[in-house]
Structure 1
């Protein structure tokens, strides 16, 4: 199945919900398009402001990711504004909470769409799938929170990091080498259906076939909380490893049940299936010993200067919040959007189409987070390298680096077959 035609469905949810502190919304005026100081302007742009929408989850199942992502984005924008803004204008975030509800996301989009120049964050693949046609119709540059390959190929929808399938190909290559897997060995593949799980599974299937591994497949529902049946099924087949694409709560159950039943094999999960709160559960010892995490973002415990600076700034501004990958998502989105706005300003075109064109000028974007991203072609993943991380308590984000960002040769082979 071609990776660009995966069916849209609800994506990964985060099962551990953090309490939400107050969050204000702002920016309800509706400027029209036209010429502003010699620069072409579109909706959301005035002589003094550029308004950017944030459509995310602040109170629902994905709030542990959505909230820090929004906060990090606001933190970055505040710094930009303190330094004079962009194109002589302040960047203002118009925040709406959809609570991880698709219908609320659709309603929120309809409300803010006339008032904003772009969407700096749209969290949730289910929410994204419901809005894709509207985003393209409105020519609204949108930075999506899910890295499904199904979102590639649209002029105004931007995947922000390595797609799930590529992460799994890179990750399974690591697992084959470090766990000593060989042709003929069986591995479990446990995943949710939908954009997230199916895309991750597609990459895992390709990598497994290339390595000569036999897959034992189990599917799960996003609402499933007990992985006993799935672990029992793959364990009966004597698998030597497990590849997983689900929610963080499911990760804790899977690894905990596997360890308790004697199936002490390595588990490779996508980064979307992990949050540091899991280390506060009884599954912590098994997680630290058995789990590996693959994704395009480095560990927050990394020595990379950009990561260390982000951690210090976030802890200073939000000392009561727990660090996780959400702050990297928010910081990346904000930095890329600001550079897109600068490019659009240089071209004297702050219309929605001008802002999208500005993003596509960023062929070697580096915000100090470990990988250089290419946003020039929305039909391609902006990154093809994945980190391998492992849970560990007592460090920022609850993860340490096991392998730096790597693209294995199988990625190019896979993309050639999919193209």
Structure 2
């Protein structure tokens, strides 16, 4: 099922809840939900306990730390930003339940949502209730068609996948690549980019799907092995791709490995298995690494040490942190224009031009014509216990 159709179905099913949310959202907060003279309330709807918890926690901490720092440095037009985080466990039903609490109990202005399946489930309500959100997801469902209240930060998953196939073709010239993908909007987005890139290069793509939460990948790996693929690439989050790499190693199969999407290209994925099983594992990233020697990383780590001293900073911390930078930029510009409303913040977002993150991400520009920043990613490879950058950021070469 195509993502846009899926969003339409979710919207229809959620209509009664939407009506309740719209009626109850502004209680006790004046004219603008989540905004008082003293504070602005944002909600984070994230996986803090499920299969993507390591990245969900990382992103949430990044978002929180930036606003903790901002609050200690004047806030937004004298207002503190209160961040309320709730755990959906990568479960769309729990994400919907969280949404009700955010609107009816917490009266949020907007916030951040983590994970494609869960965020797809709440997106119609975010849009209908005009609560601006930045997603930790680059799924097509959030930008086709363009809408004003859901913003993604990063390049589409299909672009990440195409850049990965570009790299493999340029360096290895394979005839046959296998893909094991999460059979939902997230996994299929990555797969779609790989399919287009493979067709462009004349590479045969052999695919195997799995349901989110699967633990046994014997059948998928065995099938690809019988078909003599030269690469096995995943399009999933972390737990399942780690299990796939372990199964390949258990079978003693000497095949090249990697990920089509950045979600798995993380030290936290490696930590889920035996690091030796990941030797040579490649994949894309648009972000700086916490070890990069750039001013933005140094400043971010100083703030993390102060506001989240017990947290080990990963790549998704940077993702959440930059989301907070973008969100704060919209809040500040809207306040300066005396229009601290959802419409004012969204208009401010789409006027961002070349926002400098000091190396955390490429300069950020947003518009309604392209409602996500950037067009490029680097390829990393896991070598001798660490991810190593193999390329400078490049745009996809194999997409029309």
Q: Which residue of 2 aligns with 1:5?
A: 4
1:76 correspondence with 2:69: no
1:166 correspondence with 2:159: yes
- Select the residue among 30, 39, 57 that pairs with 2:28: 30
Q: Which residue of 2 aligns with 1:89?
A: 79
CA-based RMSD of the aligned residues comes to 2.5
1:238 correspondence with 2:236: no
- Select the residue among 371, 374, 399 that pairs with 2:387: 399
**Where in structure 2 are there 5+ consecutive unaligned residues?**
9-25
Q: Which residue of 2 aligns with 1:105?
A: 95
Query: Residues 118 and 142 of structure 1 are in contact (CA less than 8 Å); yes or no, is this contact kept in structure 2?
Result: no
1:194/1:292 CA distance change after superposition, 3 Å: same
CA distance in 1, matches of 2:280, 2:223: 19
1:200 correspondence with 2:198: no
CA distance in 2, matches of 1:118, 1:404: 38
Query: Residues 255 and 291 of structure 1 are in contact (CA less than 8 Å); yes or no, is this contact kept in structure 2?
Result: no
CA distance in 2, matches of 1:266, 1:99: 31
CA distance in 2, matches of 1:180, 1:308: 39
Query: 1:290, CA displacement in angstroms?
Result: 2.5
1:229 correspondence with 2:216: no
1:99/1:249 CA distance change after superposition, 3 Å: closer
1:349/1:317 CA distance change after superposition, 3 Å: closer
* SS in structure 2 at match of 1:267: strand
Query: 1:329, CA displacement in angstroms?
Result: 1.9
CA distance in 2, matches of 1:260, 1:188: 18
1:47/1:373 CA distance change after superposition, 3 Å: same
Query: Residues 278 and 284 of structure 1 are in contact (CA less than 8 Å); yes or no, is this contact kept in structure 2?
Result: no
1:381/1:83 CA distance change after superposition, 3 Å: closer
CA distance in 2, matches of 1:94, 1:319: 19
* SS in structure 1 at match of 2:393: strand
- Select the residue among 118, 124, 133 that pairs with 1:142: 133
- Give matches, 1:205-220, under 5 Å: 205-220=195-210
1:50/1:320 CA distance change after superposition, 3 Å: closer
CA distance in 2, matches of 1:96, 1:251: 25
CA distance in 2, matches of 1:197, 1:330: 21
CA distance in 2, matches of 1:6, 1:311: 41
Query: 1:200, CA displacement in angstroms?
Result: 0.4
CA distance in 1, matches of 2:27, 2:75: 19
CA distance in 2, matches of 1:259, 1:63: 25
**Where in structure 1 are there 5+ consecutive unaligned residues?**
10-27, 34-41, 414-419
Aligned length: 378
Q: Give a deviation string over 1:101-129, Cα, whole Å, max 9, x none.
A: 32332222222226545333111222212
1:350 correspondence with 2:340: yes
- Select the residue among 150, 169, 172 that pairs with 1:179: 172
Query: 1:173, CA displacement in angstroms?
Result: 0.3
1:282/1:310 CA distance change after superposition, 3 Å: same
1:324/1:378 CA distance change after superposition, 3 Å: farther
Q: Which residue of 1 aligns with 2:43?
A: 53
Query: 1:367, CA displacement in angstroms?
Result: 1.4
* SS in structure 1 at match of 2:76: coil
Query: 1:292, CA displacement in angstroms?
Result: 0.5
CA distance in 2, matches of 1:392, 1:119: 40
Query: 1:63, CA displacement in angstroms?
Result: 2.3
Q: Which residue of 1 aligns with 2:286?
A: 296
1:60/1:230 CA distance change after superposition, 3 Å: closer
Query: 1:281, CA displacement in angstroms?
Result: 5.3
CA distance in 2, matches of 1:104, 1:76: 26
Query: Residues 71 and 80 of structure 2 are in contact (CA less than 8 Å); yes or no, is this contact kept in structure 1?
Result: yes
